[in-house]
Chains A and B, each alone.
Chain A
Amino acid sequence: MNTIFTLFVSFIFAFILTIIPLPTWALWYRPAWVPLVLIYCLLASPGRMGLGSAWVIGLLLDAITGSSLGEHALGMVLIAFLAIKLQRQMQMAAIWQQSISILLLIFIFQLTIMLSQGMLGQANSFHGFWIPAVTSMFIWPWLVIIMRDNYQTIPSTR
């Protein structure tokens, strides 16, 4: 019960950080908060969340960012799949090694969104689509530290 509440609150926080206003130059530097929290939950408590919940959260992300439905949902499902596949390796790895996997996963997420928005003819500019992958990589260790303290009910490694 407690864990579900923590999950709920951390996703709400991720959504808030996703839409909080930033100066125009900083827009591309915003880390992909919701995918990061999703990856953490998939690693920390395998089985609690799966592709279905990732998809629903992706739909919410679509609605809150005002894009066409399905774009972020597609990206979220893809990285959830990869995170479940990489679960064992990532759980054993050191945090900085995890960061490198995060770089790859968020890059795939951003690439999916860029491609789908490009195909729907919506995007105005693509030039910075890869930057969130880099900022997410640097945010990951801090996210792990914060989440670990509030997420004690499940051991982070098996």
Chain B
Amino acid sequence: MELFKRGPALGFRLSVFIALSVAIMALDQRQQHMIYVHQALSVITTPIQYLVDLPLKTLDWLSERVTTKNALLSDNQQLKANQVLLQAKVQKFLALERENNRLRGLLQSSVRLREKVVVARLLALDANPYVHQFTLAKGSRDGVFVGQSVLDASGVLGQVIRVNPFTSQVLLLTDTRSAIPVENTRNGIRGIVVGVGDMNRLALIDTPKTENIKNGDLLVTSGLGQRFPAGYPVGTVGVVIHNPGEHFARINIHPKAQFNRSRFALLVWPHSKKK
């Protein structure tokens, strides 16, 4: 049918579609109206994503089924030993937390509440080498919301930037669009850590050269900006470069989270927010 519509009509339709694409790009950048389009498209894309993820999930399941009894037993023993150790640490931690909250009460500052944390699986997909994102197998059906913090066992991974009914997109700290407020555990100096587009490196920006930041300092989330909960590790300070020609020191951060090896992520719900 379209065979007979060539000539000026084709060029006209091309310009219409180009204008439409550009308009949608601009609208999507503002991230308000296009959420419904995203959700409508996810009806088709989510099954494909789960389909691609399925073989890997099956492989995991199979390797679990065919392990020997001995391997399972030794695994079990190790996990039990680990659990005892962790519980001993938690006991101490609980006492410390109570003491900390009492002291904060005396200082009349706000008491820190504990957050709720849920484990989510990453879908085994990667499509877009331009951006540092991944897809979680939990979505708005599970109460995930835009801006939610995502952790792994050793540190902050990033935040949720888009939610579909069954999946959600997470922007990693290493992406150049990402920024996170942090504080130095050694002396409480605050700053902002941004991604530089490299999986193994972050950068602490806009820190005056006179600030006391040394190689090996641990940076944790400061909780300022109300987006990331306070106190989760972000990274350790690597090389600090003082260039006399620049206003600010150039500070490399080694991230704590394992961005390209994580299979599971932790979603954090702030305590005040009802699911």
Which chain A residues border B133 with CB–CB below 8 Å?
A: 66
Partner-binding segment picked from B19-27, B104-112, B232-240, B247-255: B19-27
A68 engages B28 (CB within 8 Å)? yes
Partner-binding segment picked from B61-69, B122-130, B149-157, B210-218: B122-130
Partner-binding segment picked from B46-54, B179-187, B221-229: B46-54
B25 engages A63 (CB within 8 Å)? no
Q: 10 A-B residue contacts at CB 8 Å? A: A15-B45, A19-B126, A47-B1, A50-B2, A58-B21, A68-B29, A69-B37, A113-B130, A124-B131, A124-B132
B177 engages A122 (CB within 8 Å)? yes
Residues of B within 8 A of A (CB): 1-3, 5-6, 10, 13-14, 17-18, 20-25, 27-29, 34, 37-38, 41-42, 44-45, 48-49, 51-52, 56, 124-133, 135, 162, 169, 174-177, 195, 197, 260
Which chain A residues border B51 with CB–CB below 8 Å?
A: 16
Which chain A residues border B14 with CB–CB below 8 Å?
A: 51, 77-78, 81
Asked if A1 is an interface residue, CB under 8 A from chain B, the answer is: no
Secondary structure class of chain A's binding surface, majority of residues: helix
Asked if A2 is an interface residue, CB under 8 A from chain B, the answer is: no
A116 engages B25 (CB within 8 Å)? yes
Which chain A residues border B45 with CB–CB below 8 Å?
A: 15, 60, 63-64
Which chain B residues border A58 with CB–CB below 8 Å?
A: 21
Chain A interface residue count, Cβ-Cβ cutoff 8 angstroms: 50
User: A66-B135, A66-B169, A69-B28 in contact; A117/B130 too (CB < 8 A)?
Assistant: yes
Measured CB to CB, the closest approach of chain B to A37, in angstroms, equals 14
User: A28-B129, A69-B34, A124-B131 in contact; A12/B21 too (CB < 8 A)?
Assistant: no
Which chain B residues border A81 with CB–CB below 8 Å?
A: 10, 14
Give the total number of A-B pairs whose CB atoms are below 8 A apart. 140
Q: A27-64 CB contact bits vs B (8 Å, 1 = yes)?
A: 11000000000000000001100111001001110111
A12 engages B48 (CB within 8 Å)? yes
Give Cα A60–Cα B38 distance, bound, in whole angstroms.
Answer: 9
Measured CB to CB, the closest approach of chain A to B157, in angstroms, equals 15
3 shortest A-B CB distances, which residue pairs? A124-B197, A70-B25, A63-B41
**Candidate in A24, A47, A66 with the most chain B CB atoms within 10 angstroms:** A66
Asked if A67 is an interface residue, CB under 8 A from chain B, the answer is: yes
Give Cα A124–Cα B178 distance, bound, in whole angstroms.
Answer: 11
Measured CB to CB, the closest approach of chain B to A45, in angstroms, equals 10
Measured CB to CB, the closest approach of chain A to B124, in angstroms, equals 5
Which chain A residues border B49 with CB–CB below 8 Å?
A: 19, 64
Which chain A residues border B37 with CB–CB below 8 Å?
A: 59, 69
B127 engages A68 (CB within 8 Å)? no
Measured CB to CB, the closest approach of chain A to B164, in angstroms, equals 9
Q: Smallest CB-CB separation from B37: which chain A residue?
A: A69
